[in-house]
């Protein structure tokens, strides 16, 4: 597989362009074209010879859309294909204040969470920073027309969540580079405050991330209130205790001044009775955090069941009464199916890739 130019920062791209004997301003033209989601050969401001030279070394386009589904509520689900034929999925959610894109950071995942489809086939490979960025570049390009013509806004995607397939902190260096490039001035320029990174709780990497001083929203997938129950659905719980996760979150708050978030997927008979609400309140009360409750998206290969709406709202009510800041995540795009990894898993099953 060839390298991709989207992996390079502006400074690195400039260096590359100069090393090929081209003028400095060509780097700007190239960067602008790439940030508009264009393939190298589609950038009209560059000479054919220069583009051919670049294509000897780099993929013309790192990613393409294999399948796209649009929900009745406007949510879009994508199956992307990389140059080596690997597939990942992404979701675009349309809100009044802008578009939020859910991106994948790995092909597959090795964390083994029992409720998650991304992990069914294990980890295939890490995505590079540019491969992650390309998911956004492509979706932005498809929605060029949606961007208001006036004002400084030049892109459709205003918010990003690293909640697609993969564990972002298991691909730390590439994810960090992605964060730097996606927030860089002159590029897609998404504010770090509009980016949420979700982790299953790899504690040492949470500290490392806090030390980077990037003011993004840190979200931890908790899904249980004690280590033993957590380990039943999340193997990572055997490596790091909830108490260690909470300490790392406090550190994150101290370093960045940002409150942190917990995701709590409601699993019938497992984590959403009154005793769990009480335990969650004891664990988190008074901390600068917010709890996002998620209804389990049932995965056919797994036996875990979702709660009904009534039980979900009752659980939310108990948390609020106990003084926690909490919300029950609205279910969007349900008609186009799919928890993390489901689209890829069903495509692979159907097509035997």
Q: Which residues bind ligand SAH (CB under 6 A)?
A: 113, 115-116, 163, 167, 198-200, 221, 263, 265, 294, 296-297, 299, 339-340
- Report which of 161, 116, 12, 135 is spatially closest to residue 339, judged by C-alpha positions: 116
Active site residue 340: yes
CB nearer to ligand SAH: give 133 or 245: 245
Cβ proximity of 267 and 274 under 8 Å: no
Burial (Cβ within 10 Å: 0-12, 13-18, ≥19) of residue 202: buried
* Cα distance between residue 237 and residue 44, in whole Å: 51
Residue with structure tokens 């909470």?
246
Distance, in Å, from the CA atom of 8 to the CA atom of 177, rounded to the nearest integer, reads 9
Return the closest-CA partner of residue 236 out of 209, 201, 266: 201
Helices (H), ranges, the chain: 10-19, 24-35, 48-57, 129-142, 172-183, 203-212, 227-233, 242-256, 274-284, 309-321, 342-351
Q: Which two tokens stand for residue 329?
A: 């995540």
Q: How far is CA 301 from CA 209, 295, 335, in A?
A: 33, 17, 19
- DSSP single-letter state for residue 267: B
Cα separation, 136 vs 121, in Å, equals 25
By beta-carbon proximity to ligand SAH, the closer residue of 158 and 297 is 297
* 83 vs 283 by CB, closer to ligand SAH: 283
Find the radius of gyration of the CA atoms of the chain. 21
What minimum distance in Å lies between the beta carbon of 239 and ligand SAH?
Answer: 13
Using the minimum distance from each CB to ligand SAH, give the nearer residue, 27 or 182: 182
In this complex, which beta carbon is closest to ligand SAH, that of residue 110 or of residue 255? 110
Whole-angstrom distance, CA of residue 216 vs CA of residue 195: 5
CB of 176: closest distance to ligand SAH in angstroms?
16
Place of tokens 């719980």: 237
Q: What is the smallest separation between the CB atom of 5 and ligand SAH, expressed in angstroms?
A: 27
Question: Is 189 part of the annotated catalytic residue set?
Answer: no
Catalytic member of 89, 174, 263, 270 = 89
C-beta of 30 vs 196, nearer to ligand SAH: 196
Which residues does residue 291 pair with via DSSP β-bridges, in sequence order?
262, 326
Distance between CA atoms of 35 and 46, rounded to whole angstroms? 15
Count other C-beta atoms under 10 Å from residue 211's C-beta: 12
Active site residues per annotation: 89, 340
């Amino acid at each position: 597989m060839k390298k991709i130019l989207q992996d390079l920062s502006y400074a690195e791209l400039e260096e590359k362009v100069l090393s090929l004997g081209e003028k400095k301003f060509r780097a700007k033209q190239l960067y602008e074209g790439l940030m508009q989601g264009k393939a190298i050969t589609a950038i009209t401001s560059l000479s054919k010879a220069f583009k051919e030279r670049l294509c000897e070394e780099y993929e013309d386009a790192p990613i393409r859309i294999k399948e796209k589904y649009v929900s009745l509520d406007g949510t879009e689900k994508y199956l992307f294909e990389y140059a080596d034929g690997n597939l990942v999925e992404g979701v675009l959610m349309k809100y009044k204040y802008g578009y939020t894109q859910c991106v994948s950071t790995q092909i597959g995942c090795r964390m083994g969470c029992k409720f998650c489809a991304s992990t069914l086939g294990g980890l295939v490979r890490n995505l590079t920073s540019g491969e992650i960025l390309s998911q956004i570049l492509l979706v932005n390009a498809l929605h060029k027309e949606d961007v208001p013509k006036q004002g400084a806004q030049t892109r459709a995607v205003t918010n990003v969540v690293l909640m697609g397939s993969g564990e972002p902190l298991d691909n730390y260096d590439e994810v960090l580079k992605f964060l730097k490039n996606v927030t860089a001035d002159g590029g897609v320029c998404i504010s770090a405050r509009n980016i949420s990174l979700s982790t299953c709780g790899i504690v040492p990497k949470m500290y490392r991330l806090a030390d980077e001083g990037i003011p993004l929203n840190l979200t931890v997938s908790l899904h249980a209130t004690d280590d033993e129950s957590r380990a039943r659905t999340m193997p990572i719980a055997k490596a790091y205790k909830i108490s260690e996760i909470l300490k790392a979150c406090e550190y994150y708050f101290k370093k960045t001044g940002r409150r942190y978030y917990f995701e709590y997927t409601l699993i019938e008979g497992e984590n959403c009775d009154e005793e769990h609400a009480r335990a969650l309140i004891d664990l988190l009360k008074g901390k600068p955090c917010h709890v996002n409750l998620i209804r389990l998206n049932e995965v056919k290969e797994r036996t875990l069941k979702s709660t009904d709406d009534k039980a979900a709202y009752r659980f939310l009510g108990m948390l609020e009464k106990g003084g926690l800041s909490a919300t029950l995540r609205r279910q969007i795009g349900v008609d186009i199916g799919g928890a993390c990894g489901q689209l890829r898993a069903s495509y692979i099953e159907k097509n035997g890739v």
